[in-house]
């Protein structure tokens, strides 16, 4: 991880707000360490190597064909969802803002698309959700800012009954398990 800068913050373990029937946490718990990961541009390129979408404009599922273009710093990626509607994972840094362009190939002008942050972060309107209307070009653009927490950060696009998921990972990926 020599290409990754680690920023550490520590604080005493705190119990979440206690609800009825929930046990209280032990106040004598040790301090907890939380890592906020900032990936170098070279490390992001290494992790994101080979994730561009194929040139075909057909879809492998019954849902609508949707293409995504994600720009992170000086790099950009063309993505296509898999058979269940999930786009390839893009590795980003903590609190990084990425630009996203979405193209609804079979969309119609005037259709509404809901954009929802599922795992933390915010959209360019400062909120976790927003609605956009497709224009004549059947495209929409927005920015997403991840949190400082390491891990998965998903953004869901919903148009009618069709849903697609953008998948971002903040920081270094988890270590792989060896048998």
pLDDT in tens, 4-38: 444 444 333 333 343 444 334 444 434 433 444 67
105: Cα separation from own chain's centroid:
22
What phi, psi does 10 have (nearest 5°)?
-130, 155
Given a cut of 60, whether residue 76 has pLDDT beyond it is: yes
Domain with CATH 2.60.40.10 in the chain: 41-170
Higher pLDDT, 112 or 178: 112
Which of 28-32, 71-75, 146-150 comes out lowest in average pLDDT? 28-32
| Residue with the larger pLDDT of the pair 26 and 63 | 63
CB-CB neighbours of 87 under 10 Å: 26
Domain 41-170 listed as CATH 2.60.40.10: yes
8 and 35 Cβ atoms separated by less than 8 Å: yes
pTM summary value: 0.71
Percent of the chain whose predicted confidence (pLDDT) is above 70? 71
Where are any strands of DSSP class E within the chain? 4-12, 31-39, 66-72, 75-79, 86-92, 97-104, 112-117, 122-123, 129-133, 139-145, 151-159, 162-170
Residue 17 near residue 26 (C-beta atoms within 8 A): no
Residues 122-145: what's their mean pLDDT?
97
pLDDT of residue 172: 87
Highest mean pLDDT among 3-17, 39-53, 82-96: 82-96
What's the pLDDT band for 73 if we cut at 50, 70, 90?
Answer: confident
Mean pLDDT of the chain: 79
Distances (CA, A) of 117 to 73, 123, 170: 21, 8, 14
53 confidence band (pLDDT: 50, 70, 90) = low
Please name the helix (run of DSSP H) or strand (run of DSSP E) that holds residue 46, with its range, or none: helix 41-47
């Amino acid at each position: 991880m020599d290409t990754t800068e680690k920023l550490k913050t520590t604080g005493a373990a705190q119990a979440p707000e206690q609800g009825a029937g929930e046990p209280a946490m032990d106040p004598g718990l040790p301090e907890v360490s939380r890592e906020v990961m900032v990936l170098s541009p070279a490390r992001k390129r290494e992790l994101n190597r080979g994730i561009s979408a194929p040139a075909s404009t057909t879809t492998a599922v019954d849902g609508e064909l949707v293409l995504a273009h994600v720009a992170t710093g000086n790099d950009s990626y063309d993505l296509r969802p898999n058979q269940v509607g999930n786009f390839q994972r893009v590795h980003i840094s903590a609190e990084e803002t990425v630009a996203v362009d979405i193209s609804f190939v079979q969309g119609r002008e005037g259709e509404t698309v809901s954009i929802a942050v599922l795992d933390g972060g915010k959209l360019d309107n400062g909120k976790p959700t927003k609605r956009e209307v497709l224009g004549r070009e059947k495209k929409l653009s927005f920015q997403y800012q991840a949190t400082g927490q390491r891990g998965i950060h998903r953004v869901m696009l919903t148009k009618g009954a069709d849903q697609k998921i953008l998948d971002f990972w903040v920081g270094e990926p988890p270590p792989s398990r060896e048998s």
